[in-house]
Amino acid sequence: MGRLAIASDHAGRELKEDLKAYLTELGVEYVDMGVNSDASVDYPDYGSPVAEKVSSGEAEKGVLICGTGIGMSILANKYRGVRAALVSDVFTARLSREHNDANILVIGGRVVGKGLAREMLKIWLETRFEGGRHQKRLDKITEVERKVNGR
Protein backbone atom coordinates (compact mmCIF):
# COMPACT_ATOMS: atom_id res chain seq x y z
CA MET A 1 0.00 0.00 0.00
CA GLY A 2 1.16 3.52 -0.71
CA ARG A 3 1.69 6.13 1.92
CA LEU A 4 -1.11 6.80 4.39
CA ALA A 5 -1.67 10.32 5.78
CA ILE A 6 -3.06 10.71 9.30
CA ALA A 7 -4.17 13.74 11.30
CA SER A 8 -6.38 14.77 14.17
CA ASP A 9 -7.50 17.77 16.10
CA HIS A 10 -6.88 18.11 19.85
CA ALA A 11 -9.85 15.86 20.69
CA GLY A 12 -8.46 13.03 18.58
CA ARG A 13 -4.74 13.39 19.33
CA GLU A 14 -4.54 10.64 21.95
CA LEU A 15 -6.26 8.12 19.67
CA LYS A 16 -4.13 9.27 16.71
CA GLU A 17 -0.96 8.58 18.68
CA ASP A 18 -2.21 5.09 19.54
CA LEU A 19 -3.14 4.37 15.92
CA LYS A 20 0.28 5.58 14.75
CA ALA A 21 1.91 3.02 17.06
CA TYR A 22 -0.42 0.37 15.64
CA LEU A 23 0.38 1.36 12.05
CA THR A 24 4.05 0.92 12.89
CA GLU A 25 3.30 -2.55 14.34
CA LEU A 26 1.48 -3.42 11.12
CA GLY A 27 4.37 -2.15 9.00
CA VAL A 28 2.25 0.53 7.32
CA GLU A 29 4.12 3.62 6.13
CA TYR A 30 2.41 6.85 7.18
CA VAL A 31 2.94 10.58 7.46
CA ASP A 32 1.60 12.44 10.50
CA MET A 33 0.03 15.76 9.53
CA GLY A 34 -0.60 16.89 13.15
CA VAL A 35 -1.65 17.86 15.80
CA ASN A 36 1.14 17.41 18.26
CA SER A 37 -0.36 18.94 21.39
CA ASP A 38 -3.62 19.06 23.30
CA ALA A 39 -4.10 22.79 22.69
CA SER A 40 -7.47 23.55 21.11
CA VAL A 41 -7.29 23.84 17.31
CA ASP A 42 -9.69 24.03 14.37
CA TYR A 43 -10.05 20.60 12.76
CA PRO A 44 -10.18 21.93 9.16
CA ASP A 45 -6.58 23.11 9.55
CA TYR A 46 -5.46 19.50 10.05
CA GLY A 47 -8.02 17.56 8.03
CA SER A 48 -7.48 19.59 4.86
CA PRO A 49 -3.84 18.58 4.29
CA VAL A 50 -4.78 14.89 4.54
CA ALA A 51 -7.74 15.28 2.19
CA GLU A 52 -5.54 17.23 -0.25
CA LYS A 53 -2.93 14.45 -0.26
CA VAL A 54 -5.57 11.79 -0.92
CA SER A 55 -7.35 13.91 -3.54
CA SER A 56 -4.09 14.54 -5.43
CA GLY A 57 -2.95 10.91 -5.21
CA GLU A 58 0.07 11.83 -3.12
CA ALA A 59 -1.35 9.52 -0.44
CA GLU A 60 -3.31 6.38 -1.24
CA LYS A 61 -5.36 6.54 1.96
CA GLY A 62 -5.96 8.76 4.95
CA VAL A 63 -7.13 8.58 8.55
CA LEU A 64 -8.77 11.53 10.29
CA ILE A 65 -9.82 11.79 13.92
CA CYS A 66 -11.72 14.51 15.76
CA GLY A 67 -14.09 14.41 18.74
CA THR A 68 -17.05 12.82 16.94
CA GLY A 69 -15.57 12.39 13.47
CA ILE A 70 -18.45 14.36 11.98
CA GLY A 71 -16.53 17.56 11.26
CA MET A 72 -13.58 15.77 9.69
CA SER A 73 -15.85 13.64 7.48
CA ILE A 74 -17.81 16.68 6.25
CA LEU A 75 -14.56 18.50 5.51
CA ALA A 76 -12.80 15.62 3.76
CA ASN A 77 -15.75 14.88 1.49
CA LYS A 78 -15.49 18.40 0.03
CA TYR A 79 -12.35 17.29 -1.84
CA ARG A 80 -12.59 15.84 -5.33
CA GLY A 81 -12.16 12.08 -5.38
CA VAL A 82 -12.27 11.71 -1.61
CA ARG A 83 -14.63 9.16 -0.16
CA ALA A 84 -14.33 9.66 3.60
CA ALA A 85 -16.28 7.23 5.76
CA LEU A 86 -17.11 7.95 9.38
CA VAL A 87 -17.24 4.56 11.08
CA SER A 88 -17.86 3.39 14.62
CA ASP A 89 -17.87 -0.39 14.23
CA VAL A 90 -15.99 -3.11 12.36
CA PHE A 91 -18.93 -3.91 10.04
CA THR A 92 -19.15 -0.38 8.62
CA ALA A 93 -15.35 -0.13 8.43
CA ARG A 94 -15.28 -3.25 6.25
CA LEU A 95 -18.23 -2.25 4.07
CA SER A 96 -16.86 1.26 3.58
CA ARG A 97 -14.01 -0.40 1.68
CA GLU A 98 -15.88 -3.31 0.03
CA HIS A 99 -18.82 -1.30 -1.27
CA ASN A 100 -17.71 2.35 -1.26
CA ASP A 101 -13.94 2.14 -1.82
CA ALA A 102 -13.51 4.67 1.01
CA ASN A 103 -10.07 6.23 0.85
CA ILE A 104 -10.24 8.12 4.16
CA LEU A 105 -11.24 6.46 7.41
CA VAL A 106 -12.75 8.88 9.93
CA ILE A 107 -13.09 8.03 13.62
CA GLY A 108 -14.56 9.92 16.56
CA GLY A 109 -11.87 10.05 19.23
CA ARG A 110 -14.48 10.68 21.93
CA VAL A 111 -16.79 8.00 20.55
CA VAL A 112 -14.59 4.96 19.90
CA GLY A 113 -12.09 3.35 22.27
CA LYS A 114 -8.54 2.45 21.31
CA GLY A 115 -9.12 -1.29 20.99
CA LEU A 116 -12.10 -0.92 18.67
CA ALA A 117 -10.32 1.81 16.68
CA ARG A 118 -7.39 -0.57 16.10
CA GLU A 119 -9.77 -3.32 14.94
CA MET A 120 -11.56 -0.96 12.57
CA LEU A 121 -8.29 0.37 11.15
CA LYS A 122 -6.92 -3.14 10.56
CA ILE A 123 -10.02 -4.40 8.78
CA TRP A 124 -10.25 -1.16 6.77
CA LEU A 125 -6.65 -1.51 5.60
CA GLU A 126 -7.04 -5.21 4.76
CA THR A 127 -10.37 -5.01 2.93
CA ARG A 128 -10.37 -4.59 -0.84
CA PHE A 129 -12.99 -2.89 -2.97
CA GLU A 130 -15.34 -5.44 -4.59
CA GLY A 131 -15.99 -3.46 -7.77
CA GLY A 132 -18.80 -4.80 -9.96
CA ARG A 133 -22.16 -3.26 -9.13
CA HIS A 134 -20.43 -1.08 -6.55
CA GLN A 135 -18.18 0.47 -9.22
CA LYS A 136 -21.25 1.50 -11.18
CA ARG A 137 -22.52 3.33 -8.11
CA LEU A 138 -19.20 5.03 -7.50
CA ASP A 139 -19.16 6.14 -11.12
CA LYS A 140 -22.53 7.79 -10.54
CA ILE A 141 -21.15 9.59 -7.48
CA THR A 142 -18.18 10.79 -9.53
CA GLU A 143 -20.58 12.10 -12.18
CA VAL A 144 -22.54 14.00 -9.53
CA GLU A 145 -19.27 15.41 -8.21
CA ARG A 146 -18.35 16.64 -11.71
CA LYS A 147 -21.78 18.15 -12.26
CA VAL A 148 -21.91 19.92 -8.90
CA ASN A 149 -18.31 21.16 -8.99
CA GLY A 150 -18.22 21.92 -12.72
CA ARG A 151 -15.26 19.60 -13.36
Adjacency order of strands within the sheet including 84-86: 30-32, 4-8, 61-66, 104-108, 84-86
Question: Distance between CA atoms of 96 and 128, rounded to whole angstroms?
Answer: 10
- The residue annotated as part of the active site, out of 3, 78, 99, 134, is 99
The residue count of the chain comes to 151
Measure CA 129 to chain center: 15
- The residue annotated as part of the active site, out of 35, 50, 66, 107, is 66
- Residue 66 annotated in active site: yes
Terminus-to-terminus CA distance in the chain, angstroms? Answer: 28
Instruction: Count CB atoms within 10 A of the CB of residue 66.
Output: 31
Burial 101-136 (b: 16+ CB within 10 A, else e): bbbbbbbbbebbeeebbbbbbbbbbebebeeeeeee
> Which residues are catalytically annotated?
66, 99
